[in-house]
A and B are shown apart, each in its own frame.
Chain A
């Protein structure tokens, strides 16, 4: 790839800026002709033409319901839907395609596991004599389902706290994860702090006590190579729309023997083998967990997104984002009164940077940035316990992706200077 001049000084880790041409939205002008600077990728990514075309082509040429009917369209739609499952399985290095369950989003994937365990028989069953372990840096989607399960079963909910520099405090890991622990569920890369968590240490302790491990990879799968076998987890959840795919499609990967043993959650068409008025038997996984007409076009779109990301290469994307993150951390720390909430270096962190700017409320920061065409997220980012932990009401969050550039970081830094002057 040829490097554009000027922008990429001294770095061969950055992707060619030509990648931006694949994303029509990045040409959008806002607020009287200002070019959009999209730095809200942790909320959702933009979509490449290749994904938009796949969605269109599916609806224009192949649309039908899946797994039923013998007509040509039904067969094509089924092949495309199941083909997307193959692509996702390969993308995360799943040992079997049958371990990939399509859901609506990562929240549904996490809720699905919580409900499987609530209704499970021994040895998986979560009840009043057992414990659930999460962390203080989870997204609300990996807190609330466990609170619900805890309230319904009487199981004790425990969590790892955070260190002052935005990392998990594992100093008391043997007291947190014990023989009573049934499930440990934690985020691979934090959506608010950007922290990359130490999977191995947590998984090793969980395995010692025979607890299951669920990893929320929502902020990881779009940005780094996720290998479910290397992670050694029992379940991995992520969502499609943050990784160039459409909304309405998520993934739960689970180890095959667990998916065979654990009970279904949603009942309906598609997930059954035979049904009588008295009882039913269930289809094998993954269909056992996919009741009703699935998000077919969305799965096809996710398959196209996976193809797109794989063609560029997840290692190259990770290297690009790491370079952008190094540059952004350095530039942001030059802004007076700016405090990064989370690791203040680019090591073991993803391309999501939360910060406060003096006493200026993030809402006001975000509003003045928006006027300059800069899209960031402000608020507690569905991780309110993190804000409470660091004694702040909210943060401003800039999050980058494969199409982010160093010059966009510069625009952000200039924009923050403008914010300081505006409220100064």
Chain B
């Protein structure tokens, strides 16, 4: 059944038992919404130099958006920023693949549980749900680390 390709067991597990949920101390906080459906997330990042010490979040939304935030927390906390950016861009590439990308071993090594979202990329209306927390993380990171491009618009 096609639905199972979207709602992988891994995704439903993260949805029911989210990792690192709840807001904790951070260097920057952002609030992102998906205006078409009302999914919302508030996300904070805490850095120890270039190492991600914590990503904490609170939000309301569908299983895909909530599970994605949980996977993000699991994957990124403790990483160096450069590694985290590689993971983020691999996830973005997967989500924009319209179901055409079959994750290989190399991708699976980078994305771990996040490869379970491959099936979501076939559903255009849901890609934004999966990307919500990742876009929020990118934005929060730019703010926390003083990305000059961001400062101009902030």
A residues lining the B interface (CB < 8 Å): 31, 361-364, 367-368, 371, 378-380, 384, 387, 393-394, 422-423
Contacts and interface: CB of A to CB of B under 8 A. Distances in A.
B153 interface: no
A367 B60 contact: no
Contacts of A361: 60-63, 66
Contact of B37 (A371, A378, A422): A378
Interface string B23-58: 000000000000011111000000000000000000
Nearest to B36: A379
Contact of B63 (A364, A380, A384): A364
Interface stretch (B2-10, B79-87, B109-117, B133-141): B2-10
Given A363-B39, A363-B126, A380-B38, A423 B2 contact: no
Nearest to B7: A422
Output the residue of B7, B12, B36, B37 with the most chain A CB within 10 A: B37
Contact of B38 (A367, A379, A422): A379
Contacts of A362: 37, 62
Contacts of B64: 363-364
Interface in B102-127: 123, 126
Given A361-B61, A387-B38, 5 more contacts: A371-B2, A379-B36, A393-B40, A422-B3, A422-B7
A367 B39 contact: no
B154 interface: no
Contacts of A367: 3, 6, 123, 126
B129 to A, nearest CB: 7
A363 B2 contact: no
A393 B38 contact: yes
Contacts of B3: 367-368, 371, 422
B41 to A, nearest CB: 11
Contacts of A422: 3, 7
B1 interface: yes
Interface of B: 1-3, 6-7, 12, 36-40, 60-66, 123, 126, 129
A394 B126 contact: no
B2 A31 contact: yes
Contacts of A384: 38
Nearest to B40: A393
Contacts of A379: 36-38
28 contacts: A361-B60, A361-B63, A362-B62, A363-B37, A363-B62, A363-B63, A363-B65, A363-B126, A367-B3, A367-B123, A367-B126, A368-B3, A371-B1, A371-B2, A371-B3, A378-B37, A379-B36, A379-B38, A380-B38, A384-B38, A387-B38, A393-B39, A393-B40, A393-B60, A394-B37, A394-B38, A422-B3, A423-B63
B6 to A, nearest CB: 7
Contacts of B38: 379-380, 384, 387, 393-394
A395 B129 CA distance: 16
Given A368-B3, A371-B2, A423-B63, A363 B129 contact: yes
Contacts of B129: 363
A-B CB proximity, top 5 nearest? A363-B62, A361-B62, A379-B37, A394-B38, A393-B60
A422 B37 CA distance: 21
B58 to A, nearest CB: 13
A364 B66 CA distance: 12
B154 to A, nearest CB: 24
A31 B2 CA distance: 9
A364 B3 CA distance: 11
A381 B115 CA distance: 32
A378 B62 CA distance: 11
A387 B61 CA distance: 13
A76 B65 CA distance: 54
A422 B11 CA distance: 13
A55 B36 CA distance: 31
A37 B60 CA distance: 29
Contacts of B60: 361, 393
A368 B123 CA distance: 12
